[in-house]
Structure 1
Amino acid sequence: MTTMNKFFNILRDTCYICLQELKNVFRDQGVLIFLVVVPLAYPLLYSWIYNNEVAREVPVAIVDLSHSHTSREFTRMIDASPDTRVALRCNSLDEARQRIGRGDAYGVVYFPEDFQTKLNRMEQTHVGVYCDMSIMLAYKAIFQTCVAIQGELNSRIQVKLSGNYTERENEITTRPLDFQEVPIFNNTAGYGNFIIPGVLMLIIQQTLLLGVGMAAGTAREKNNYGFLVPIHRRYRGVMRIVWGKAMAYLMIYVVMAAYLLCAVPYFFNFISLITLSQLALFSLPYLLSCIFFSMTLSVMMRYRENVMLLVVFSSVMLLFMSGVSWPQSNIPAFWQGVSWLFPSTFGIRGFVRMNSMGATLTDVSTEYRALWIQTVVYFVLAHEVYRFNIAKARHAIHHRLLRLRSKTVPSSEG
Structure 2
Amino acid sequence: MDTMKNGFWKVFFYEWKTIIKKPSIILWTLGVPLAIFILYAAIFGDGVLRELPIAVLDEDKTSLSRELIRQINANSTLDFTKEVNTEGEGLKQIQTSDVFGLVIIPDNFKKDISRGKNVNVVLYVNNDYMTPAGLINKGFNTVVGNFSASAKVNVIMKRGSSSLQAKNAVQPVIMRSHTLFNPFLNYAYYLCLSLFPMTLQLTVMITTLYLLGSILKYNKGTDLYQLSGNNVFFAFFGKILPYTIIFSLLTILMVAYLFGYLGIPINTSVVNVYILTLILIIVYQLMAVFFVTISKDFRSLCAMGGGYSSLAYSFSGYTFPQEGMPTAIMIMDSIFPFASYSRALTNIAVKGMPITESLPYLIGFGVFALIGLLSLKKFSYQLQKGGYHDK
- TM-score, normalised on structure 1? 0.83
> Does residue 1:355 correspond to 2:349, yes or no?
yes
| Local SS of the residue matching 1:325 | coil
| Corresponding residue of 1:196 | 192
Distance in 2 separating the partners of 1:255 and 1:308: 28
8 Å CA contact retained: 1:64, 1:111: yes
From 181, 206, 209, the counterpart of 1:210: 206
Alpha-carbon shift at residue 192 of structure 1 (Å): 0.7
Q: How many pairs were matched up?
A: 387
From 361, 383, 387, the counterpart of 1:390: 383
Gapped regions of structure 2 (runs ≥ 5): none
| Local SS of the residue matching 1:55 | coil
1:21-32, aligned counterparts within 5 Å?
21-32=15-26
1:300-319, aligned counterparts within 5 Å?
300=295, 307=302, 311=306, 315=310, 317-319=311-313
Alpha-carbon shift at residue 350 of structure 1 (Å): 0.8
Q: Summarize the Cα distance change of 1:93–1:16 in structure 2 as closer, same or farther, 3 Å threshold.
A: farther
| Corresponding residue of 1:20 | 14
Bigger shift: 345-354 or 237-246? 237-246
> Once the two structures are superposed, what CA deviation does each residue of 1:253-277 show, in whole Å capped at 9, x if it has no partner?
2222222123443122222222044
Alpha-carbon shift at residue 69 of structure 1 (Å): 4.2
Q: Which amino acid aligns with 1:188?
A: F
| Corresponding residue of 1:48 | 42
Distance in 2 separating the partners of 1:395 and 1:42: 33
8 Å CA contact retained: 2:101, 2:126: yes
| Corresponding residue of 1:409 | none
8 Å CA contact retained: 1:200, 1:261: no
From 145, 150, 159, the counterpart of 1:151: 145
Distance in 1 separating the partners of 2:222 and 2:172: 74
8 Å CA contact retained: 1:53, 1:191: yes
Alpha-carbon shift at residue 284 of structure 1 (Å): 4.2
| Local SS of the residue matching 1:363 | helix
Q: Which amino acid aligns with 1:273?
A: N
From 342, 345, 364, the counterpart of 1:370: 364
**Superposition RMSD in Å:** 3.0
8 Å CA contact retained: 1:249, 1:291: no
Q: Which amino acid aligns with 1:234?
A: L
1:5-154, aligned counterparts within 5 Å?
6=1, 8-113=2-107, 115=109, 119=113, 122-154=116-148
| Local SS of the residue matching 1:204 | helix
Distance in 1 separating the partners of 2:251 and 2:289: 18
8 Å CA contact retained: 1:107, 1:132: yes
Distance in 1 separating the partners of 2:34 and 2:388: 42
Q: Summarize the Cα distance change of 1:303–1:158 in structure 2 as closer, same or farther, 3 Å threshold.
A: same
8 Å CA contact retained: 1:217, 1:301: no
| Local SS of the residue matching 1:259 | helix
Q: Summarize the Cα distance change of 1:363–1:274 in structure 2 as closer, same or farther, 3 Å threshold.
A: same
1:214-293, aligned counterparts within 5 Å?
214-220=210-216, 223=218, 226-228=219-221, 230=223, 233-235=226-228, 236-293=230-287
Distance in 1 separating the partners of 2:308 and 2:358: 29
8 Å CA contact retained: 1:219, 1:229: no
> Does residue 1:182 correspond to 2:182, yes or no?
no
Distance in 1 separating the partners of 2:123 and 2:305: 42
Q: Summarize the Cα distance change of 1:264–1:122 in structure 2 as closer, same or farther, 3 Å threshold.
A: closer
Identity %: 16
The structure with more radius of gyration: 1
Alpha-carbon shift at residue 209 of structure 1 (Å): 1.4
| Local SS of the residue matching 2:312 | helix
Alpha-carbon shift at residue 305 of structure 1 (Å): 11
8 Å CA contact retained: 1:60, 1:107: yes
Bigger shift: 158-167 or 13-22? 158-167
8 Å CA contact retained: 1:56, 1:82: yes
Q: Summarize the Cα distance change of 1:229–1:32 in structure 2 as closer, same or farther, 3 Å threshold.
A: farther
8 Å CA contact retained: 2:221, 2:387: no
- TM-score, normalised on structure 2? 0.87
| Local SS of the residue matching 2:244 | helix
Alpha-carbon shift at residue 68 of structure 1 (Å): 4.2
